[in-house]
Amino acid sequence: MDYPRMDAYKPFGLDVLRLQGQKLLFCWLIALPCLFFVPGMKLRAVGAVFAVFLAALAVLDGCYGLLYDRLLIPMAVLGLALALWGCLPCGIEEALSAALLAGGFFCLLRFFSRGGLGWGDVKYVAVLGLWLGGRGTVVAVSLAITLGGVLAVAMLSKGWSRNYALPFGPFLSLGAYLAYIWGESLWQFYWGLLT
């Protein structure tokens, strides 16, 4: 059985966006209706911008195995600015501490996984901390690990090789999007399971 390879490096540029533009637009259009579950017009507008970044990073990581700094840096700057202006559910202190803790935790995971987790994933989780705060980041990462694990088990049971690199970015994007919309409810659900 021939499996797709993730080792074809593709530098980020307009040609990449042209190649993957339909997928990006499709993911973004699928994501928009769920934003009506978010209270307030300001949070919906911010969520639409957040969904653009999430869709772009998910599609590009799925296609090329890369989370581009040219997307992560503007996403981080915008998340920091929105947290400063009070446009996100979390304040600036919570956003910065969530970014540092999530990035540091994933840096340790990368070290102990011996490269099984890429630097792009480490940076992406830190940026998500800016947008989601502490609770939202925990929810996003928990969902990403769960969804990625389920797919990995399903792939292994279907005969896929363990050598296949399953990109984690799409799962982080999906987990972050769900955490943005239903983060507090999911946090209460998780907390209820623990207590």
Q: How far apart are CA 153 and CA 144, in angstroms?
A: 14
Mean pLDDT over 2-13 rounds to: 49
Q: Taking the model in full, what pTM does it have? A: 0.85
Q: 48-52 long-range contacts, Cβ below 8 Å, gap at least 24?
A: 49/78, 50/131, 50/176, 50/177, 50/180, 51/177, 52/28
Residue 10 pLDDT class (50, 70, 90 cuts): low
Q: How far apart are CA 102 and CA 121, in angstroms?
A: 11
Look at residue 16 in the predicted model and tell me its pLDDT. Answer: 63
Q: Give the pair of three-digit tokens for residue 193.
A: 């399971």
Dihedral of alpha carbons 158, 163, 165, 168, sign? positive
How far the first Cα of the chain sits from its last, in Å, is 46
Mean pLDDT over 152-181 rounds to: 86
Look at residue 114 in the predicted model and tell me its pLDDT. Answer: 77
Q: What is the pLDDT of residues 74-108, one digit of tens each?
A: 999 999 999 999 999 889 999 999 999 999 999 99
Could you state, in order of their start, the residue ranges of all structural domains in the chain?
14-194
Look at residue 2 in the predicted model and tell me its pLDDT. Answer: 39
Angle, CA 157 vertex, CA 153 and CA 160 arms, to 5°: 90
Q: What is the pLDDT of residues 11-67, one digit of tens each?
A: 666 666 666 777 777 777 777 777 777 778 888 889 889 999 999 899 888 888 889
Residue 180 pLDDT class (50, 70, 90 cuts): very high
Asked whether the beta carbons of 142 and 175 are under 8 A apart, the reply is yes
What percent of the chain shows pLDDT beyond 70? 88
Of how many residues is the chain composed? 195
Task: Single out the residue of 26, 71, 44, 46 nearest to residue 172, CA to CA.
Answer: 71
Q: Where are the beta strands (DSSP E) in 32-138?
A: none
3-state helix, strand, coil in the chain (%, to 5): 75, 0, 25
